[in-house]
């Protein structure tokens, strides 16, 4: 290695996704699968954030609608959505999002606490942010998003 090469700080990888136009990230190590639009069976008496359940290779996966969880308007009827599958407490959950983009490697030194201008519900469910060129990437706290008991 040449001494002229700059030292790089630790990088963190995130699966990026959008919800109502907002760029978000989930640590890549927490993502089990990314699925295209799936058939979701409604679960009677489930909280509003629970869109239903889907079948992933024989396992039942609870689908959480991030738009509802983050107090956003619903997607237009007929809009195809994607799912980011994660595991918490031995159970699988699919986070319904508008779009999944790419895996980004970002320097750990660029990670910042959530700014005070971030809406309260977003700040509650985020771990912090990365300021990208012209956009803010909100890093979601998946464990907090899945704690339906904290839902308002």
Domains of the chain by residue range: 11-146
Residue 85 CB neighbour total at 10 angstroms: 20
Homologous superfamily assigned to 11-146? CheA-289, Domain 4 (2.40.50.180)
pLDDT (tens, 9 = 90+) of the chain, 152 residues, equals 444 444 456 999 999 999 999 999 999 999 999 999 889 999 999 888 999 999 999 999 999 999 999 999 988 887 889 999 999 888 999 999 999 999 999 999 999 999 999 899 999 999 999 999 889 999 999 999 988 654 44
CA distance between the termini of the chain: 54
Which DSSP category does 148 fall into? G
Helix (H) or strand (E) holding 50: strand 50-56
Calculate what percentage of the chain has a pLDDT beyond 70. Answer: 91
């Amino acid at each position: 290695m040449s001494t002229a090469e700059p030292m790089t700080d630790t990088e963190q990888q995130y699966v990026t996704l959008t919800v109502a136009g907002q760029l978000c990230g989930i640590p890549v190590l927490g993502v089990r699968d990314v699925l295209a639009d799936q058939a979701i069976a409604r679960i009677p008496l489930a909280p509003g954030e629970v869109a239903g359940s889907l079948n992933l290779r024989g396992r039942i996966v609870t689908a959480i609608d991030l738009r509802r969880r983050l107090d956003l308007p619903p997607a237009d009827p007929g809009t195809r959505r994607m799912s980011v599958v994660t595991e918490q407490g031995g159970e699988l959950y699919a986070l319904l999002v508008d779009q999944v983009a790419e895996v980004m490697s970002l320097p750990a030194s660029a990670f910042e606490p959530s700014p005070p201008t971030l809406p309260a519900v977003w700040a509650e469910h985020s771990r912090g942010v990365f300021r990208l060129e012209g956009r803010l990437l909100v890093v979601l706290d998946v464990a907090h998003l899945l704690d339906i008991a904290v839902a308002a």
